[in-house]
Structure 1
Amino acid sequence: MSKIKVLDKILQDKIAAGEVVERPSSVVKELVENAIDADASDVTVYIEESGMKSIRIIDDGHGIRKEDAPLVFERHATSKIENDYDLFQVRQLGFRGEALASIGSVSHATIESFNRESSPFKLTYHGGEQIELTDGKERVGTDILIENLFYNTPARLKYVRHLKTEAGKIIDVISRVAIAHPNVAFKLELDGSTRVQTKGNGNLKEVIADIYGLNIAKAAIPFEHETQDFNITGFIVKPEISRSNKNYIHVSINQRHIKNFGISQAIINGYHSLLPKDKYPIAFLNIDMDPKLVDVNVHPTKLEVRISKDRALFVLIEEAVKATLRGTPLIPEITHDEPEQPFLTEQQVLNLAKTPDYSYQNFSKKSKPFVEEQVQSRRDVYPDYYETETKTDYGASDNVEVEEEQETQPEVKTDKLPYFEIIGQLHGTYVLLQNDQGLYLMDQHAAQERIKYEYYYQHVDENSESTPLLIPYTFEFPQMDVIAIDEKLDDLKTMGFEIERVSHSTYHVMSYPNWINSKNPEVDIQDLLDFILEKDSFSIQAYKEEVSIMLSCKRSIKANRYLTNSEIEQLLNDLNACESPYTCPHGRPVIIHYSTNDIERQFNRIMK
């Protein structure tokens, strides 16, 4: 007698269900995706006891024909593909024909559906067996009810976690599908309480506000980039709002929510030094591409995909995120949790009554003795400024060309930062600034860290030009470090160092790269060697950023260092020239903003 047998169909379905139906949220995902594939514009989800008691999903899609009812719960029965060519042209969310068969095998399922080209029906299905097929209601669309999930698979039932955890998973599923499909109205009710509700008007920013709140929606920056192969649209959120995990990075391909480490990492890399350590951005991106470039048939859950030209896509996303953030003012605004409402402040009323035009454009152009006192020629400030630790000694030379004094002094303003008037300092640490938009606080250490970091990052590179020394610097290291240094001498040479060992523990530096601090290069060289010794392996490309951060932090103004107005002006000018003047290399904000409206609100000067 043969020992090899073909398993019973119901047993096959139970085994296969383990891949598709992992938990209640898996059921919700598959059924909601079916509704979207049916061109539904309105999807309502009712959940009881986190889905363990019942899951009901009602949609207004085109429905199922009655003649197709007996095939609804059959494995690999689908209306979405017909041949192998269709498998590589998939745009629908479902196509494998496994979801309903898997769900029906581990639950009590009831489907009521009506297609205009057929008659309504109601189908009852328990544990892989059809129980009853009767007439249904004439309501276009589908109403599916799943009860007693995993009743016949006790191991899977035991695996289900706490009900609150399962409820959170369901909310996450609906949220991600709603973000990928802003043109569909979604409503999720958990035990009679509405948890997610979107309008379905196609406005992604409104969906973000409905799900994640107004603060995130307000900080969302429109994102759009297109090439011959990819069209990327959506929103990325300003770095002032971040999260401690990657779960808030939403990526979809052809409106299918997916998880892809490379894409998520490209988005994170695009924020570069704008986020603090161990913080991650919030993003909502959809990538439209030819279905031939993406394989969605990797896993039954269809979350994992394989992308052709993935490297090009990663580079495109990273560079596009950087470009979008570079073109956006990123000074965080400090607000208070009070409801917003239209109002005029008392000061604004007085300004309107007394002053013909105080628009922002004209504000900075008016003649103000106070501003003239703050904004001086650079030539007047260098003798004092460049002898202090605030000196911007980024290059090899201590001689800095000074701009000729002009009849009209340049404003402390560029495309990156707004016009500022200098007020003074707080505790020798924070610079107080103002304009017609309110009060600004600048962290002087973070500001100079950003300035020096960008200089070092641009100049720390392979094959840097070197500055020769007539008398070599001598460094002595413990014997335990000698082997590590010897291994890295070639790498140091590519950076512009010429170093040789002259005894068992002594090294001579005959030349150093021209980006080293020319005022006291020995200190920078020692710091850099100490830094390299901490690393198991070393390459300039791998550690370029870390070296830049280390050097900029050590060479920047410290707290409790009082600056003159001229020194502050120079700091602002240098910050204005930065590519990204809004955060230090560690991701901390450089400048924060207290709006005039918010200040007026705190003093109860608001006139409604």
Structure 2
Amino acid sequence: MSIRRLPEHLVNRIAAGEVVERPASALKEIVENALDAGATRIAIRLSNGGLDRIEVSDDGVGMDSADMALALERHATSKMPDDDAIENVATLGFRGEALPSIASVARLSIDSRRQGGEGWNRTVDNGQLVAEGPAALPPGTRVTIEQLFAKVPARRKFLRSAKAEYAACLDIVRRLAMAHPAVAFALEHDGRRTLGVQAGDAREERVAALTDRALADNHVIISLAREGVRLSGVASIPTYNRGVGDHQYLFVNGRPVRDRLLIGALRGAYADMLARDRHPVVALFLDVPPLDVDVNVHPAKTEVRFRDPAMIRGMIISGLRRALDEQGFRAVQNADPAALSAWRAEPVSPTPIGAMPIFDAAAVSYNPLAASSFGDRRSSFVTPPPQARAEPAMAPAPEGQSFPLGVARGQVARTYIVAEAEDGLVIVDQHAAHERLTLERMRRAMEGQGVQSQALLLPEVVELEEPACDRLESRAPELHDFGLDLERFGPSAMLVRAVPAMLGQSDVQGLVKDLADDLAAYDSALSLKERLDLVAATMACHGSVRAGRMLSVAEMNALLREMEVTPRSGQCNHGRPTWVKLGHGDIEKLFGRK
């Protein structure tokens, strides 16, 4: 078999297969070129999801005719001033393959003009130069891509619908706009403006504008520097989360990336604050010395490789943890608008209150001899009492002293604590709150002398399947550190000799079975620390105040005060909020006062 040199147009099409996968890929390359050219305004127009037309206009430095001709040659770039710059890449694009690759599979038209120079146009149709000449436009560059893959049917048929391709383009623009708040972005699709942000936004404002406006009220700011690496960004508090991880944005030196290391670090940071099927809203920005990161791993530059990945992962986890810990007991503050709008006022009775039979003295004749049976008969004409309980506090709060979570006023449905704060009404889920407090106590104990255990008067036998017993037996030393002493009791049973003292009278059977189930689901997928956190969270759940337990007002206030000084007490171990607040304005809306 003889070896031959491939023709230029075929080489470009092969390169296009690596760089240009879909309209969003082409759009990404063009917008990155505009950012590298120093643009402060970028306008994007799409037709049919980018399948028919992509147009990107910017106010960057522009090109003259000679530069434009060179830009359409393979491996020609202005972003590497010397041959050694590949080790010190400081721009978004640097390969010099994007424009000739796109021009080989679409009709590419470039209009550009330098400040004080003449405009010039160059049009290439599927690798063939078809037009060239003067062009009228303001300083900057306008790139138009039409009929992508129209003459490459093998690639065209694998593209998705126009809506799906538009969604991919929108995601690309959103990520690039998030990374560059000093640049104004505008996106139009089929003549309709779908995205617009102004230059000069603060980073957290830009992130909220491009994700969800509610994030502005439910986020923390991350800022951490270590060994020449800087981590900054915005992260949602755990109680503000989503069912899918589509709102997690990661950037390295201003470059949007999808890196498994960074995604794993996010999971580790929120490990005991979110259920495994819930995801935070995060935008993290890493500024790393160029020599410490390799951005040339993937042709589309969506993956990176760090010189010290363990340090980067630890930095992300510690930065997020520190920011979340500083929020203390904070939870989602705003009442759910859907819950408020679902409330409907009861119709007003036309009968005056004084005329109702229950308030008519003549309607009820008091008979002392019948007093004992009064409670049995009153249900026929008196509305049953509400299912709630209130009692005077044993030690009322000092006059003039206020607490963030207020003072307990009662308990509803033996599950929710109702407290009065200066700025509204606070409702606390007693089980979720105590679950978090118990977990934090266990963690503090582990950092000290370990969790104290309490021996059972009579060891308890828990029957399980043999594989479950094997898993528990292999983790017995770790469980012992948490105060749970287990030993094998035959092929399909475990003997429990002691439980953590802080769990009190916990359900030993349920605790051991839940631990076995958790280890079966996650044991091989989690690190040692994550497994320990999982064990602690499961134990804390079993040792917490259960819904349905009556609490005194003193116990309620003690729970509220501990929540106020415990980190991460705004959410339980599964990411659900432990408390919500109805502001005075929300309450007034419910009663039609506003």
The TM-score with structure 1 as length reference comes to: 0.80
Residues 149, 533 of structure 1: CA spacing in aligned structure 2 closer, same or farther, 3 A cutoff? closer
Amino acid at match of 2:335: T
SS at 2:286 equivalent: strand
Residues 410, 567 of structure 1: CA spacing in aligned structure 2 closer, same or farther, 3 A cutoff? farther
Displacement, 1:474?
6.0
State which drifts further: 165-174 or 420-429: 420-429
Displacement, 1:229?
1.9
SS at 1:333 equivalent: coil
- Please say if residues 273 and 586 of structure 1, whose CA atoms lie closer than 8 Å, have aligned partners that are also in contact: yes
| 2:556 paired residue number | 568
Q: Does 1:87 pair with 2:86?
A: yes
Q: How does 1:337-376 map to 2 (within 5 A)?
A: 337=337, 374=393, 376=395
| 2:378 paired residue number | none
Q: Structure 2 CA distance, aligned partners of 1:155 and 1:411?
A: 73
SS at 1:239 equivalent: coil
| 2:331 paired residue number | 331
Q: 1:433 aligns with which of 419, 425, 431?
A: 419
Structure 2: runs of 5 or more not aligned: 339-389
Aligned residues: 536
| 1:260 paired residue number | 259
Q: Does 1:113 pair with 2:135?
A: no
Q: Cα RMSD between the aligned structures?
A: 3.2
Q: Does 1:226 pair with 2:225?
A: yes
Q: How does 1:117-266 map to 2 (within 5 A)?
A: 118-266=117-265
Q: 1:454 aligns with which of 432, 440, 463?
A: 440
Amino acid at match of 2:248: I
| 1:322 paired residue number | 321
Q: Structure 2 CA distance, aligned partners of 1:123 and 1:189?
A: 24
State which drifts further: 47-56 or 551-560: 551-560
| 2:379 paired residue number | none
Displacement, 1:553?
2.1
| 1:31 paired residue number | 30
Displacement, 1:518?
7.9
Q: Does 1:69 pair with 2:68?
A: yes
| 2:297 paired residue number | 298
Q: How does 1:438-587 map to 2 (within 5 A)?
A: 438-459=424-445, 464=450, 473=459, 475=461, 477=463, 480=466, 487=474, 512=498, 515-516=500-501, 520=505, 524=508, 526-527=509-510, 529-531=512-514, 533-534=516-517, 535=519, 541-587=529-575
Amino acid at match of 2:577: P
Q: Structure 2 CA distance, aligned partners of 1:286 and 1:411?
A: 41
Q: Does 1:421 pair with 2:407?
A: yes
Q: Structure 1 CA distance, aligned partners of 2:291 and 2:265?
A: 22
- Please say if residues 24 and 169 of structure 2, whose CA atoms lie closer than 8 Å, have aligned partners that are also in contact: yes
Q: Structure 1 CA distance, aligned partners of 2:457 and 2:592?
A: 68
Amino acid at match of 2:330: L
- Please say if residues 52 and 147 of structure 2, whose CA atoms lie closer than 8 Å, have aligned partners that are also in contact: yes
Residues 304, 120 of structure 1: CA spacing in aligned structure 2 closer, same or farther, 3 A cutoff? same
Deviations, residues 65-98 of structure 1 (Å, cap 9, x unaligned): 2222222211111111144421111111100000
Q: Give me the identity figure in percent.
A: 29
Q: Structure 2 CA distance, aligned partners of 1:287 and 1:325?
A: 18
Residues 494, 247 of structure 1: CA spacing in aligned structure 2 closer, same or farther, 3 A cutoff? same
Q: Structure 1 CA distance, aligned partners of 2:178 and 2:234?
A: 11
Residues 131, 265 of structure 1: CA spacing in aligned structure 2 closer, same or farther, 3 A cutoff? same
Q: Structure 1 CA distance, aligned partners of 2:38 and 2:492?
A: 75
- Please say if residues 52 and 148 of structure 1, whose CA atoms lie closer than 8 Å, have aligned partners that are also in contact: yes
- Please say if residues 54 and 145 of structure 1, whose CA atoms lie closer than 8 Å, have aligned partners that are also in contact: yes
Q: Structure 1 CA distance, aligned partners of 2:107 and 2:474?
A: 67
Q: Structure 1 CA distance, aligned partners of 2:336 and 2:485?
A: 56
Residues 602, 457 of structure 1: CA spacing in aligned structure 2 closer, same or farther, 3 A cutoff? same
Displacement, 1:419?
4.8
Displacement, 1:499?
6.1
Amino acid at match of 1:143: R
SS at 1:262 equivalent: helix
Residues 309, 17 of structure 1: CA spacing in aligned structure 2 closer, same or farther, 3 A cutoff? same
| 2:386 paired residue number | none
Residues 558, 302 of structure 1: CA spacing in aligned structure 2 closer, same or farther, 3 A cutoff? same
Amino acid at match of 1:116: Q
Displacement, 1:296?
0.6
- Please say if residues 468 and 512 of structure 1, whose CA atoms lie closer than 8 Å, have aligned partners that are also in contact: yes
Amino acid at match of 2:434: Q
State which drifts further: 187-196 or 471-480: 471-480
SS at 1:246 equivalent: coil
Displacement, 1:228?
2.8
SS at 1:16 equivalent: helix
SS at 1:273 equivalent: coil
Displacement, 1:262?
1.7
Q: Structure 2 CA distance, aligned partners of 1:35 and 1:5?
A: 37
Residues 72, 283 of structure 1: CA spacing in aligned structure 2 closer, same or farther, 3 A cutoff? same
Deviations, residues 220-261 of structure 1 (Å, cap 9, x unaligned): 332211223211222112223211222211111111111112
Amino acid at match of 2:57: I
State which drifts further: 50-59 or 215-224: 215-224
Deviations, residues 118-159 of structure 1 (Å, cap 9, x unaligned): 432111111112122211225210111111111121011101
SS at 1:456 equivalent: helix
Amino acid at match of 2:133: T
- Please say if residues 16 and 104 of structure 2, whose CA atoms lie closer than 8 Å, have aligned partners that are also in contact: yes
- Please say if residues 504 and 543 of structure 2, whose CA atoms lie closer than 8 Å, have aligned partners that are also in contact: no
Residues 375, 315 of structure 1: CA spacing in aligned structure 2 closer, same or farther, 3 A cutoff? farther
- Please say if residues 376 and 409 of structure 1, whose CA atoms lie closer than 8 Å, have aligned partners that are also in contact: no
Q: Structure 2 CA distance, aligned partners of 1:504 and 1:276?
A: 33
Q: Does 1:101 pair with 2:87?
A: no
Displacement, 1:487?
4.8
| 2:579 paired residue number | 591
Q: Structure 1 CA distance, aligned partners of 2:589 and 2:531?
A: 47
Residues 545, 194 of structure 1: CA spacing in aligned structure 2 closer, same or farther, 3 A cutoff? same
Q: Structure 2 CA distance, aligned partners of 1:285 and 1:265?
A: 13
Q: Structure 2 CA distance, aligned partners of 1:292 and 1:286?
A: 17
Residues 375, 163 of structure 1: CA spacing in aligned structure 2 closer, same or farther, 3 A cutoff? farther
Residues 81, 588 of structure 1: CA spacing in aligned structure 2 closer, same or farther, 3 A cutoff? same
Residues 60, 487 of structure 1: CA spacing in aligned structure 2 closer, same or farther, 3 A cutoff? closer
Q: How does 1:7-18 map to 2 (within 5 A)?
A: 7-18=6-17
Q: Structure 2 CA distance, aligned partners of 1:420 and 1:471?
A: 41
Q: Structure 2 CA distance, aligned partners of 1:568 and 1:408?
A: 16
Amino acid at match of 1:180: A
Q: Structure 2 CA distance, aligned partners of 1:40 and 1:11?
A: 33
Q: Structure 1 CA distance, aligned partners of 2:589 and 2:15?
A: 61
SS at 1:91 equivalent: coil
Displacement, 1:315?
0.9
Deviations, residues 530-587 of structure 1 (Å, cap 9, x unaligned): 4454445699745322222222222323323332212212222333342221111111
- Please say if residues 461 and 540 of structure 1, whose CA atoms lie closer than 8 Å, have aligned partners that are also in contact: no
Q: Structure 1 CA distance, aligned partners of 2:279 and 2:465?
A: 41
Residues 485, 132 of structure 1: CA spacing in aligned structure 2 closer, same or farther, 3 A cutoff? closer
Amino acid at match of 1:376: A
State which drifts further: 69-78 or 465-474: 465-474
State which drifts further: 9-18 or 206-215: 206-215
Residues 292, 17 of structure 1: CA spacing in aligned structure 2 closer, same or farther, 3 A cutoff? same
Structure 1: runs of 5 or more not aligned: 339-370, 378-406
Q: Structure 1 CA distance, aligned partners of 2:470 and 2:173?
A: 57
Q: Structure 2 CA distance, aligned partners of 1:126 and 1:198?
A: 33
